[in-house]
Structure 1
Amino acid sequence: MALCHCLECQKRTGAPFGVAAFFAETAVAVDGVSSEYRRMGDSGHEIEFHFCPTCGSSVYWRPHFRPGLVAVALGAFADPAFPAPSKAVYTERRHPWVAVDLGSE
């Protein structure tokens, strides 16, 4: 589980950060139709986002800088008991009023 404060995640989610659960691609089964958006990440590698063509919600993405992994948007689980993120990235772009407890970090 990771929380991202990058400006692109802020724009993509309409929120001050995005949160994703990362899984091995072999452990994820995709079912149904999605629309796709691709962009270059800060790493110089492409990120392939899939979102619901009906409501526009981000559902999952493939960060090509992490081959073999699929990121699933935390909101797609609709489960308040889902584990909290243990890592935050792009913290220099965090909104100063956002406070997140990452446990051991």
Structure 2
Amino acid sequence: MTREAACHCRAVRLECTGEPAKISLCNCLDCQRRTGSLFSVAAFFPRGSVRQMSGDCGTFRRDSASGFPITFHFCRKCGTSLWWEAERLPHLVGIAAGTFEDPAFPAPAQAVWTKDRHHWLAFPDTVPCSRENPAPRP
């Protein structure tokens, strides 16, 4: 399967082959600030299955809530934060799930940093929740 992710103005486009290695919903305050929403949903693909097809990106690097550096790639024209590379998960690339424009996109397999979750926000019982971030799997 091949999926395409794009920024708001469609200047930056990514091609992802295969299925995501994992899909994660993050409630940390940093993700809330970055998205302007209450959480972020990331589809993590193996690094070799993601290809940038077009566009000019800027980067922003910061420490994550887990304490590991993370580099965000955003469209210089519209500002969409499209994908990121976390040193904690060097073999994966995180892509904002909403950039796939697919309402049938698979649901998150986990919710992390629920200690920062807004008190009125609830998740289905089928989504395992972690107060912080579980240890990465090899």
Letter aligned with residue 42 of structure 2: A
Q: Which amino acid in 2 is paired with 1:16?
A: L
Instruction: State which drifts further: 84-93 or 37-46.
Output: 37-46
Residue 87 (structure 1) shift: 0.3
Within the candidate set 58, 68, 79, 2:102 is matched to: 79
2:82 and 2:127 map into 1 onto residues whose CA distance is: 27
Range with bigger deviation, 26-35 or 7-16: 26-35
Counterpart CA distance in 1 for 2:106 and 2:61 is: 28
Alpha-carbon RMSD across the aligned residues, in angstroms, is 1.3
Work out whether 1:69 is the aligned partner of 2:97: no
Q: Which runs of 5+ in 1 are unaligned?
A: none
Amino acid at match of 1:22: F
Instruction: Spell out, residue by residue over 1:21-68, the C-alpha distance to the aligned partner (whole angstroms, 9 max, x if none).
Output: 001100100122111110012333210001111221110000111111
Name the count of aligned residue pairs.
105
Question: Which has more strand, going by share of residues?
Answer: 2
Q: How far 1:101 sits from its partner (Å)?
A: 1.8
- For 1:39 and 1:104, locate their aligned partners in 2 and report how far apart those are by CA, in whole Å: 28
State the SS of the aligned residue for 1:43.
coil
Find out whether 1:11 has 2:47 as its counterpart. no
Please list the CA deviations of residues 2-28 of structure 1 after superposition, one character each: whole Å capped at 9, or x if unmatched: 000000000000000000000110010
* Residue 52 of structure 2: aligned partner: 30
Structure showing greater relative contact order (alpha-carbon pairs closer than 8 Å, 6 or more residues apart): 1
Q: Which amino acid aligns with 1:24?
A: P
CA contact (8 A) 2:28 2:65 kept: no
Shift in alpha-carbon separation, 1:66–1:102, aligned structure 2, 3 A = farther
